Structure 1
Amino acid sequence: MNLPNKLTVLRALMVPVFVFFILYPAEQEMLFRLIALFLFCTASFTDYLDGHIARKRNLVTNFGKFMDPLADKLLVCSALICMIPLSRLPAWYVIILISREFIISGFRLIAVEQNVVIAASYFGKLKTVSQMVMIILLILQLSALHFVNLLFIYLSLILTIVSLIDYLYKNRKVLQEGGF
């Protein structure tokens, strides 16, 4: 297993540890929150790092193509779901963000059947970055950053919807040829 794939697996393995530290009710809440923040930031950085190394060293594999987006979705969706019981995000909001991920994943499966590879779009990458920043801000939960938190919550929602529309529009032939 090459280094980028090891980083991807590490990211996936960090998810349950992150969930434990973000949700576990401890007397040391601030310490656990900081550990969760460290884990989330480290896992998010491996998302950038594994792709960078894979492209730079020509280490792109089928395992990486499959597992990298899956590990990303596990990390971000788990963090979003954790924000519901912590009262930092409403359930309807999280459902919209996760629904987009399911729709795009299903769309990519249809594309694969037609031998079409759908690369990540500019809006999709912006959406991911905005969600990761939002999650970091929500983990920190600093009242001084309340306006910035709200800004990233709305920005993430808008980019989620825009990136979905962008993916579907740019690849509408895949849907048409798939019988839709």
Structure 2
Amino acid sequence: MRIEVTPLPGSPPLLNAANLLTLLRLALVPVFIAFLLTHDGQHTGWRLAATAVFAVAALTDRFDGQIARRRGLVTRFGTVADPIADKALMGAALIGLSALGELSWWVTIVIAVRELGVTALRFWVLRHGVIAASRGGKLKTLVQSLAIGLYVLPLTALGPDSVVDWTRWWLMALAVALTVITGADYVLRALRLRASGLAAARTVSRAG
């Protein structure tokens, strides 16, 4: 017996262009890590390849959301999977750089704790609604991407006092600050969403 599942009228299909870009970003994470860690991160060619893969993956994060909104392809799966794919990419890059001794572990831990916490919050309030990405969150992601991209590039030959080294250090410092600030904002938004959801549920229960 063959069962065919068709989407409800007006509901975008699960496998749409936006969601496929999100899945592509997830698939690129292990490829990026493999390139980054090859030859202990000391081979210029592999580092350039890792940078290229990271750039492509980061670009999918920019375009999948735009495509979903412009073409009416926003789905609950995409709303949840998109930030997870983003966090997987950023987390893998930070852990890889710290494992290579090129980025302090405390930076990776602070960002990882925030990202995992926000993901947990999204699932915690999922039955009450979806926490959309804020402007601050998008800015945080952009700054993180730029900082990580500069750290992944094979720039050690320029020396520790080069302009690029100084630039990426300050970008990463800004990324950490935005990570903490936007993390606190997500906590407040999650608490408000859950409170409003519970209030609405109690109202419906009384009415019934």
* Pairwise same-fold verdict (TM > 0.5): yes
Q: TM-score, normalised by structure 2?
A: 0.78
After TM superposition, the runs of 4+ consecutive aligned structure 1 residues lying more than 4 A away are 174-179
1:38 aligns to 2:52 (yes or no): yes
Matching residue's letter, 1:71: A
Q: Which residue pairs with 2:91 in the alignment?
A: 77
Residues 148 and 174 from structure 1, CA distance in 2 versus in 1: closer, same or farther, beyond 3 angstroms?
same
Matching residue's letter, 1:139: V
CA distance in 2, matches of 1:81, 1:72: 14
Residues 94 and 18 from structure 1, CA distance in 2 versus in 1: closer, same or farther, beyond 3 angstroms?
same
> How far 1:54 sits from its partner (Å)?
1.1
CA distance in 1, matches of 2:194, 2:109: 23
Of 108, 111, 136, the residue aligned with 1:94 is: 108
Matching residue's letter, 2:49: I
Of 17, 36, 45, the residue aligned with 1:3 is: 17
Q: Which residue pairs with 1:148 in the alignment?
A: 167
Which structure is larger by alpha-carbon Rg, 1 or 2?
2
Query: SS where residue 88 of structure 1 aligns?
Result: coil
1:120 aligns to 2:133 (yes or no): yes
Q: How does 1:141-180 map to 2 (within 5 A)?
A: 141-142=154-155, 143=158, 144=162, 145-174=164-193
Query: SS where residue 115 of structure 2 aligns?
Result: helix
CA distance in 2, matches of 1:136, 1:50: 20
Matching residue's letter, 1:20: A
> How far 1:11 sits from its partner (Å)?
0.9
8 Å CA contact 1:11, 1:46 repeated in 2: yes
Residues 28 and 98 from structure 1, CA distance in 2 versus in 1: closer, same or farther, beyond 3 angstroms?
closer
CA distance in 2, matches of 1:59, 1:135: 30
Query: SS where residue 165 of structure 1 aligns?
Result: helix
Gaps of 5+ in 2: 1-14, 199-208
CA distance in 1, matches of 2:197, 2:103: 36
Of 120, 125, 130, the residue aligned with 1:106 is: 120
Q: Which residue pairs with 1:136 in the alignment?
A: 149
8 Å CA contact 1:26, 1:32 repeated in 2: no
Residues 62 and 69 from structure 1, CA distance in 2 versus in 1: closer, same or farther, beyond 3 angstroms?
same
CA distance in 1, matches of 2:173, 2:154: 16
Query: SS where residue 39 of structure 1 aligns?
Result: helix
Residues 23 and 156 from structure 1, CA distance in 2 versus in 1: closer, same or farther, beyond 3 angstroms?
same
CA distance in 2, matches of 1:101, 1:178: 24
> How far 1:168 sits from its partner (Å)?
2.1
> How far 1:56 sits from its partner (Å)?
0.8
Root mean square deviation of aligned Cα = 2.1
CA distance in 2, matches of 1:91, 1:27: 17
8 Å CA contact 1:12, 1:71 repeated in 2: yes
> How far 1:102 sits from its partner (Å)?
1.4
Query: SS where residue 84 of structure 1 aligns?
Result: helix
Query: SS where residue 25 of structure 1 aligns?
Result: helix
Matching residue's letter, 1:73: K
Per-residue CA deviation, residues 135-173 of structure 1 (Å, 9 max, x unaligned), is: 101011433311101111210110011111222234443
Identical aligned residues as a percent: 38
> How far 1:30 sits from its partner (Å)?
0.8
Gaps of 5+ in 1: none
